[in-house]
Amino acid sequence: MIAAGLCACQNMPESYAPPVQRPIFEEYHPEFVNIVNMGDVDAPTRFVQDISPLAEGAEHSWRWCKQRPTVKIRVKATANLKYTVDLAVPDVTFRDTGPVTISFYVNQHLLDRAQYTAAGQYHFEKAVPPDWIAPREDILLAASIDKVWVSKKGDEREGFILTRIGLKP
């Protein structure tokens, strides 16, 4: 009986007010993405056309593209943005196509062209006129290759390899 009485007596912890509840990322808005990295899990949600759904490479960091890979992004502000893209012209396609020219577009405006006379990895970057884009609205970024590689059977068509594309401050 005494043992039962001792077990029933216990000290209750002091009561306290719960901490103030705040969202973890108050400024996080997933719809605003400046750069699309091909290895990102959510990258396919930004694809408009001509980008493989399959990420490849050791870290799944790149994707094959067709004629005119296009992504859709949104930015908060439009001042001082540069179109940026990391791509590769692979040797396996270059052997058949030879030199290629890639044209870079922002909302259907031709920003520039670059000719690639050898297989390899390349970086392109150029300032975007702010009146070509609007904050908080969809922006289409494209890179169009003049010659795509076609397999001997004619059932495969590849343009180039894309690692990332977007607008950076």
Query: For 21, which DSSP code?
Result: P
φ and ψ at residue 159, rounded to 5 degrees: -100, -75
CB under 8 Å to 127, separation ≥6 — which residues? 80, 81, 82, 83
* Domains, in order of start, for the chain: 35-168 (2.60.120)
The one-digit pLDDT tens for each residue of the chain (169 residues) are 555 555 555 665 666 666 665 555 444 446 788 999 999 999 999 999 999 999 999 889 999 999 999 999 999 999 999 999 999 999 999 999 999 999 999 999 999 999 999 999 999 999 999 999 999 999 999 999 999 999 999 899 999 999 999 999 9
88 - beta bridge partners? 121, 161
